[in-house]
Amino acid sequence: MAEDVVNEQAAVELGRRITQAGREPFRVGDEEFVCTVSVGIVTTAHSQHSPERLLQEADLALYRAKDRGRDRAEVFDEALRTTMVGRLGTERMLRRAIAEQRLRVHYQPIIDLRNGHTVGAEALVRIFDPELGLLLPDSFLEVAEETGLLVALDEWVLAATVQQATAWHARFGETDFTGVSVNISARHLADAKFARGVIDTLDARGLPRDHLQVEVTEQVLMETSHSAMTGLRALRDAGVKVGLDDFGTGFSSLAYLRQFPLDFVKIDKSFVHGLAVTGREDAVVAAIVTLSHALGLVVIAEGVETQSQLDAVKSLGCDRVQGFLLARPGEPGAVDERIRAGG
């Protein structure tokens, strides 16, 4: 909080000075580092403005600074006020959905390209709204993360996924179906008790540990702490499969595939959609497949929606595929039907 700031421009100037000061390098041992600063600013002359409201508004301005490239200062304005109203409505909807048990998990089959069999499924959260029907993650996950509700959401999805995976193992244990994958956040991995809790849950239900696969994004791996990486390794050492989701969307390179404890890689749909168009994506996917196979990793192509994309990922050597062309996310019964039909 800064008092005696005469106007908004003076606040912006203060934010600018803070970001400039943050650019000064500093040393830790023998290494030199630079830690840039993003600043969100809100000004007020109204006594009815509560501290909580001001912090929410400054936080939205901070997110705008990050979205616009970081290392800068941004001011809360009317456009952000409109966004804030929408986010508050989404937060209230999320809290009601959790309290009223209106969360749902749909599963998208993962298909083996060698024989066309369903070998797994990815768990995807939905919210059932009495008026709007099923709401997809794009409409609420960002708000869930910002408000701290993502932890409760993830815990519910993980519990439901393990329960469903146990049921599928009992029915299809003699088939090629080898379990369910679920996304895990960095916050969970950083919890020292999380990995042990997952392992104990699997053992208590009698579910083979490799019938649960956890997926983390590039961003989670790049920003993960030492404790989070310890949790990831503990899961993998216990037999839980670990995969890198949406590979290619972040800033990591192929070298990352060697640095982390992984069993499979999912190529992001943005590359899959560009296959056989310019040739550039073909080369990238081919490189990912070659290095992944050299490291013993299974390669899954995400977002396959056309026959030409399916033909391309086959020719480039991908092992598995998921996408609307083959199967959309749906109720568990839809996965049952595919497995029983031999697909």
CA–CA distance from 31 to each of 24, 28, 223 (Å)?
14, 5, 19
How do residues 61-70 score in pLDDT, each as one tens digit? 888 888 778 8
CA-based R_g, the chain, Å: 23
Confidence of residue 197 (pLDDT cuts 50, 70, 90): very high
Q: What was the pLDDT predicted at 84?
A: 65
In DSSP notation, 14-33 reads HHHHHHHHHTS-EEETTEEE
Helix/strand number for the chain, H first, E second: 14, 13
Q: What was the pLDDT predicted at 227?
A: 67
Q: How far apart are CA 203 and CA 184, in angstroms?
A: 19
Q: What was the pLDDT predicted at 250?
A: 59
Q: What was the pLDDT predicted at 225?
A: 62
Highest mean pLDDT among 64-73, 86-95, 114-123, 257-266: 114-123
Confidence of residue 79 (pLDDT cuts 50, 70, 90): confident
- The 3-state DSSP class for residue 342 equals coil
Indicate the range of 123-132, 151-160, 224-233, 282-291 predicted with least confidence: 224-233
Task: State the CB neighbour count (10 A cutoff) for residue 90.
Answer: 20
Q: What was the pLDDT predicted at 33?
A: 84
Q: Is the four-CA dihedral 143, 110, 194, 128 of positive or negative sign?
A: positive
In DSSP notation, 271-338 reads HHHTTTTSSHHHHHHHHHHHHHHHTT-EEEE----SHHHHHHHHHTT--EE-STTT---B-HHHHHHH
Q: What residues have CB less than 8 Å from 124, skipping those under 6 apart?
A: 105, 106, 107, 108, 137, 329
Domains of the chain: 8-76 (3.30.70.270), 100-340 (3.20.20.450)
Instruction: Please compute the mean of the pLDDT values over residues 174-192 and round it to a whole number.
Output: 87
- Note the pTM of the prediction, 2 decimals: 0.76
Q: What was the pLDDT predicted at 253?
A: 66
- The 3-state DSSP class for residue 195 equals helix
Q: What was the pLDDT predicted at 262?
A: 92
Q: How far apart are CA 331 and CA 64, in angstroms?
A: 37
Confidence of residue 329 (pLDDT cuts 50, 70, 90): very high
Give me 342's structure tokens: 């031999």
CA–CA distance from 335 to each of 49, 188, 259, 282 (Å)?
52, 28, 34, 30
Confidence of residue 115 (pLDDT cuts 50, 70, 90): very high
Q: Residue 216, Cα to own-chain centre: how many angstroms?
A: 6
Total residues found in the chain within this entry: 343
Instruction: Please compute the mean of the pLDDT values over residues 58-87 and round it to a whole number.
Output: 80
Instruction: Please compute the mean of the pLDDT values over residues 149-165 and round it to a whole number.
Output: 91
**Residue 101 corresponds to which amino acid?**
Q
**Nearest CA-CA partner of 112 in 209, 177, 183:** 177
Instruction: Please compute the mean of the pLDDT values over residues 13-42 and round it to a whole number.
Output: 88
Confidence of residue 340 (pLDDT cuts 50, 70, 90): very high
